[in-house]
Structure 1
Amino acid sequence: MTILLAPMEGLLDHPLREVLTAVGGIDRCVTEFIRITDQLLPEKVFTRVMPELRHGSRTRAGTPVRAQLLGSDPACLADNAARLAELGAEGIDLNFGCPAKTVNRHRGGAVLLDEPDLLHDILAAVRRAVPAHLPVSAKMRLGHRDDDGRIDAAQALAAGGAGELVVHARTKLQGYRPPAFWHKVADIRAAVAIPVIANGEIWTVADAQRARAESGCHGLMLGRGQVADPGLAWALRAADGAPPHLVTWAELLPGLARFWDLVALQAAPRHRAGRLKQWLNLLRRRYPEAQAAFDTVRPITDPAAVQAALFGPAAPVRAG
């Protein structure tokens, strides 16, 4: 089974990729989207979103990371994809699934699923712009307002040169509200000759088994479910017959401290406590100890006070 870690703007960024891939079980990550409008971005923009470019497009644990681009201009996307290839990106992923109103209003993300010809042109331009050995993949939803055009969209992406397709099993209008319609991914899988990976609303082993059964997909992309339970990928592999690997709170604690250190390197002081609370809020679905930690830091906004309450005296932090 292939297990990918999802790109989630404002949640699954570099610090969480570092920690979750160190726990293990993940085959590949995708960055949060890099918005492309009308210019070739400077290197510092790419490395800010994807510090892994400095380390062979790998997390510190060695997990490959693919850069995700979002936009609607085929030529400009192609130029930026070529620049990422020069910088050593493991692959290029294209975002046609973001449901954010601001993104959609500026002709990005899921609204492009209404324009299959443009989807094809974007994929074809990016595919031509990067070396033949470099993977180019795409992420989509079932549709924009409805899912009637999902097959046309998927076939356009495949015909344009996508080597892999991740499908979030909801439309843009359905957002992140349960349920996910995994059975509708099966139609896409049957209509294209490239690997299709199911995504959306996978929180448990039972969810994953249903997603695979209903979609017919061998691979899965995990988002909030993996953030809430960093041992979920291992649990899925154990359900497939691999040796069990239970990720305890004690095993996770060093990763939580590492996450806090990495957040301190990239976030302004006023935002640091919020990032930690965001993760603890999800972790308490799985770990009672996370509930206690969340309760401890919930009223605290000062980073030094958070550090003292959960982690003890601060030590020098290194990005690498």
Structure 2
Amino acid sequence: MEGLLDHILRDVLTRVGGVDRCVSEFIRVTDQLLPPRVFTRIVPELKNGGRTRAGVPVHPQLLGSDVSCLAENAARLAELKPEGIDLNFGCPAKCVNRHRGGAVLLDEPELIHDIVAAVRRAVPADVMVSAKMRLGYMDSHRTLDVARAIHTAGGSEIVVHARTKADGYKPPAYWERIAAVREAVPLTVIANGEIWTVEHAELARERSGCEHLMLGRGMVADPGLALRVARRRETPLPWAELLPLMQVFFAQVRATVAPRHQGGRLKQWLHYLKRAYPEADAAYAELRTVNSADELEARLFGPFGPVDRIGAMG
């Protein structure tokens, strides 16, 4: 989730619990061998044994279409000792697809096979090679061809986002169509897409037949979602427990992000949190025009901020 779920948010969300593994934002590979600093800039967890502070493994994700270049970069990335490397065949962004990356490759299962096979050969046997795909590009007629290509090339797992590129992110997600992928390949298949609640998670499992799920925007909107799915609990993480984690998040943002973007990162997360928290809705409404990081910090986390007033009125 480029521009949203970066290493800072991974750190905070994995502290809540319930997450077995993270996949990084994609690392774009075009026509050159990237220096190690590019990998560690996007996935700084590689300097910590490839894990978040909470001990959750992070698998860096590569995106591109040049077979040999992807293999060379995967080999260099493997030197940094990640537990696994993921390959992106699912991104629906027009600018990415226009440069032959992401979901556009779903119409070329032969190329996907060659990419997965080359990366598999390039990295040690103990480094997992997995892939993220959608049901297809403009339609789903090659879904099973792609899944079989990943399997025969040596992929270990497949995450299937239950929509085509043409579907974008519009509801619904077609979890039932993942069942055919699970039946077609003897790999671990992970269901993904439009999982915002525990009920959605249960439906996704039921309709796809998959035991494992990947959470994206739903986890950003409800940081306790993975833990609630694991324990089958309906009660969200209390706002009083989430607020200190937001402070940790914003402290890291202020330490690493350019000043002009700091406020935007906090408001971006608040905007997602509105879905699960009325406190976030109130805070966002009051702070959406504030750009000063100092003022945002004082008004959201200090005494007499919008959240405190909600509590006083309630």
2:307 paired with 1:293: no
Question: For each residue in 1:284-314, what CA deviation from the matched residue of structure 2 results, as whole angstroms up to 9, or x when unmatched?
Answer: 111121122212321101112112212349x
2:131 paired with 1:138: yes
Q: Hey, what's the Cα distance between the residues in 1 that align with 2:286 and 2:252?
A: 21
Q: Hey, what's the Cα distance between the residues in 1 that align with 2:282 and 2:35?
A: 43
Letter in 2 for 1:279: W
Conserved 8 A contact 1:234-1:244: no
Letter in 1 for 2:237: V
2:215 paired with 1:222: yes
**Structure 2: runs of 5 or more not aligned:** 304-314
Could you state the TM-score of these two structures normalised by the residue count of structure 1? 0.92
2:105 paired with 1:112: yes
2:55 paired with 1:65: no
Three-state SS of the structure 1 residue aligned to 2:130 is: strand
Three-state SS of the structure 2 residue aligned to 1:217 is: coil
2:270 paired with 1:280: yes
Q: Which residue of 2 is the match for residue 103 of structure 1? A: 96
Conserved 8 A contact 1:70-1:94: yes
Q: Hey, what's the Cα distance between the residues in 2 that align with 1:266 and 1:80?
A: 26
Q: Hey, what's the Cα distance between the residues in 2 that align with 1:245 and 1:39?
A: 48
Q: Which residue of 1 is the match for residue 297 of structure 2? A: 307
Three-state SS of the structure 2 residue aligned to 1:301 is: coil
Shift of 1:244: 8.3
Conserved 8 A contact 1:67-1:90: no
Question: For each residue in 1:176-231, what CA deviation from the matched residue of structure 2 results, as whole angstroms up to 9, or x when unmatched?
Answer: 00000011111111100100000000001111111111100000000111111111
Q: Which residue of 2 is the match for residue 77 of structure 1? A: 70
Percentage of matched positions with identical amino acids: 64
Could you state the TM-score of these two structures normalised by the residue count of structure 2? 0.94
Conserved 8 A contact 1:196-1:219: yes
Question: For each residue in 1:224-282, what CA deviation from the matched residue of structure 2 results, as whole angstroms up to 9, or x when unmatched?
Answer: 1111111111111122xxx8885211111111011111112332111111111111111
Q: Which residue of 2 is the match for residue 4 of structure 1? A: none
Three-state SS of the structure 2 residue aligned to 1:280 is: helix
Conserved 8 A contact 2:16-2:227: no
Q: Hey, what's the Cα distance between the residues in 1 that align with 2:26 and 2:127?
A: 18
Q: Hey, what's the Cα distance between the residues in 2 that align with 1:74 and 1:177?
A: 31
For the aligned residue pairs, the C-alpha RMSD in angstroms reads 1.4
Match of 1:32 among 4, 7, 25: 25
Report the count of equivalent residues. 303
Q: Which residue of 1 is the match for residue 242 of structure 2? A: 252
Q: Hey, what's the Cα distance between the residues in 1 that align with 2:259 and 2:295?
A: 12
2:199 paired with 1:209: no
**Structure with higher RCO (Cα < 8 A, 6+ apart):** 1
Three-state SS of the structure 2 residue aligned to 1:236 is: helix
Q: Hey, what's the Cα distance between the residues in 2 that align with 1:24 and 1:245?
A: 15
Conserved 8 A contact 1:234-1:245: no
